[in-house]
Structure 1
């Protein structure tokens, strides 16, 4: 191109950078983008720049990617934008480094950018991973103070975070709050709440919520049933748990490992070993678990039962 007198433009740069990155030549992409910026004064547009930043975060450390951003900003005047900071914050949140996420949030504000709903949702998700329900709630309150309208993802993340950290009662309050803002609970919302209620030992309350969910035309899914099955077994509501298992089997739903293990242990604990074997067969046939995983759980439960009988702790 150069020998023919054609100067590269932003489209040329974008194609070259994406091609180099897709073939594992990130170092060449960095060298090229700096060369084009310095020699040809062809700065990358925001799409190309942010694409490269995102790629570098997958192949380099956060420090390495941050160094590249600083070099482009100070050397060539290519400044990070809101998307750049969102990419960085998403990366540190996935790495459970929420302290760095909050620092970057402050930097973003200092640079004159206003965080959007997606960015706050990302930070809330990071706190959820750490089961910091109180921090999730703080982020939500900050959004409201800054007049940023929460969306369905915001509410689902908030409810999930509170439920996961043992604050199911507080999470329940946001069902009405959602409706006020025009966002209505979906299967994710209800399942998160049921999980929280089950964690609090209120499996019967989770069953009531299932009824409310279905009355409002929201159909439960496989995850909902697994959540309830696990919760009912933990609450020693074996009869109801077996009913749910029957519905799952009839609809060819897969068992999650936690629900499967809890059900098998509950059946064996109540002297229903034959039924436990039947659940094992279904787990294998439905490919819910690998043969080895399903058998290992059953075998360890039977060993526990044998030892308990020997010690007079089980019949």
Structure 2
């Protein structure tokens, strides 16, 4: 099925993303969408997904991998280490100086479930040569809730929408870091987009951040899809360990979650949090929770150092496990 044909089936759709799973308190992928004419609107918020039943800028890209196949790969490739080295780029890149420079590497991932008229939306970003997309895992499981044994067919798909509005199907799940809620996706056809630098070291408390904030996605018949977003200023508050206890950087403490001051918007799950100074990724957005000390909602993310578990370490010989 062609991508534009699949999207056309959603004219009458309700789009829902349900919060759940042990990964999220309130996951940033969650949103509740309702149809209003040719628009999909999220209830109670200003975010909407405009849609026309016509083709989307004549993008006839055929997806060859079904969502159910990707779901199987999510399990079969759990905690797989890839045969690549992710560079240590804690100082950033000299050619990345503006928000536009690093926004080009950010994408929206849409899991399309035609038989239930459902779309689950998340964010992500490219690393390495731009052919690998980092995103969250929990939205895959949210989408899987809408499938039954009789519905495991080839119509369900996952597609990536780039900052320039290009639709690229997801080819494979390369690795799934289960404890970190991280998935690495390979784009179909060897496609590549600009990538982001990733910091292997945890950002200290009070580090100034820019957090990706998904706002709207628009699919129309007259132009390429457009993604509206913003970069929200924030700062690192503290870290948590695997049991929820506060953890300290620079020690042997395991850092499972980075708590930061800005609660992410719906649809932001899997998006990057960058160090405001270096523009390197220091966290992958997961969701929000209430800080009971301040009675305010704060964001939580997977520290970027966890991402390096999916890659070879620099200087390590091949075949060494």
Q: 1 or 2, which has the higher strand percentage?
A: 2
Larger RCO, structures 1/2 (Cα 8 Å, 6+ apart): 2
Q: Which has the larger radius of gyration?
A: 1
Task: Note whether the superposition's TM-score is higher than 0.5.
Answer: no
The normalised TM-score by structure 2 is 0.22
The normalised TM-score by structure 1 is 0.23
Q: 1 or 2, which has the higher helix percentage?
A: 1
